[in-house]
Amino acid sequence: MRKPLEHIKVLDFTRVLAGPYCTMILANMGAEIIKIERPGSGDDSRDFGPFMNGQSAYFVSINRGKKSIALDLKSPKAIELVKELVKEVDIVAENFRPGTMEKLGIGYEELKKINPKLIFATMSGFGQTGPYSKRPAYDMIVQGMGGIMSITGEEGGDPVRVGTSIGDITAGMFGTIGILAALVDRDISGEGRMVDVAMLDGQLSILENAISRYTATGEVPKPLGARHPSIAPFEAYKTKDSYVIVACGNDALWEKFCKLTSREDLLAMDEFKTNPDRVKNVRKLKEYMTEIFGQKTTAEWDEYLNKNGIPCSAINTVDKLFTDPQVAARKMLVEVEQPGVGKIKIAGNPIKLSGLEEEIPKDAAPQIGEHSELILKKYLGYTDEQIAELKKENII
């Protein structure tokens, strides 16, 4: 039941979402996360709702299983403590604006002198280089700048933000990938690396066919609502009671769909012969599809088409996920106990590894500085007297 990263220790300076999401993934795979927080206020996301008995459910959802040490990084003594801890860890993760760690005296060039095997992962809005590197950034800023908002929403409608913080989350995921690659390389070279991930870069990397479409045609991609730009039928259609998504990703599926719905006449129409034909005539196709789907409810179509091998789904609201048998089978909603709050449901670990039954850390999200004494004793051998002195000086 050993997890693959149980031997890995992370000194985590991150806050809010991109960085904590990255270190959450590492924690899911067994890494020990030592989260450094500001004394008194801690991670900014502790103040983000929704709240349960005064605690942020947002913070709990991405920080459970981590250990918190409260350090005043404006204090030279605290910086010395950080440098001592760096000798004991494998990874430093941070998501400050570029230059902040250097101003504190704990940038990569300084820390790698202390620990040449250190992997230093930095996640920021625009990365460590380029004319925008020092700009502040939030998720919606990079969604806008990265082009993803320009292809999201209803055709001809106002700009729409993607419904989850995809700028932060992709940066966290790419940060994790970079760290794992650096760990593999370190096993060969014996040396660490700096991992530089930008939220804006992540948005460009997931634009998928929007970049290739512009390159190939010179046309600027625009929002298409629920419609796929290069496959048809591949969209949400109105049923008797709501909407259903149908995705016929090739001509064979289209032919099968037409036969299942007793609309073989569509197969004989030149406008719908091939996928490029259907994409070209997608508005006319939608008229026929709307007529077909209006004859039954979403549940009826979902059952019938899936049973017969046509990719199909209802559009679930979040509450439906809590009763979905597939979600339950994959343990993608799990319950954790948070002191002072009780049981909280959070997202499970999407990375399944053979031989592991326990998917995520079930330890609670930490209180600010909850593990300060434990960390100082365990890693640096501090005595009670030394710790009391640090508290007296408001360093921890």
pLDDT tens figures, 86-128:
999 999 999 999 999 999 999 999 999 999 999 999 999 999 9
**Gap between the Cα atoms of 94 and 123, Å rounded:** 6
DSSP assignment letter at 149: G
Say whether 139 is catalytic: no
- pLDDT for the residue numbered 272: 98
- pLDDT for the residue numbered 200: 98
Beta bridge partners of 143: none
Strands 51-52 and 55-56: antiparallel
- pLDDT for the residue numbered 66: 96
Is the omega angle on the peptide bond into residue 39 within 30 degrees of 0, that is, cis?
A: no
User: Can you give the pTM of this predicted structure?
Assistant: 0.93
- pLDDT for the residue numbered 356: 84
Alpha carbon of 103 to those of 10, 89, 97, 99: distances in Å? 21, 21, 11, 6
- pLDDT for the residue numbered 2: 85
- Taking alpha carbons only, the member of 196, 227, 198, 208 closest to residue 148 is 208
Structural domains of the chain sorted by starting position, each given as residue range(s) with its CATH number in brackets = 9-206+353-392 (3.40.50.10540), 234-314 (3.30.1540.10)
- pLDDT for the residue numbered 103: 96
Give the pLDDT means over successive 10-residue stretches in the chain (396 positions). 92 97 96 96 94 93 95 95 97 96 97 98 97 94 97 95 96 98 97 98 95 94 94 97 97 98 97 97 97 97 97 96 95 90 91 82 89 95 94 91
Question: What does 159-228 look like in DSSP terms, one character per residue?
Answer: ----SS-HHHHHHHHHHHHHHHHHHHHHHHHS---EEEEEHHHHHHHT-THHHHHHHHH-PPP---TT--
Active-site choice (168, 196, 201, 302): 168
- pLDDT for the residue numbered 1: 76
Q: Is the dihedral of CA 384, 385, 389, 390 positive or negative?
A: negative
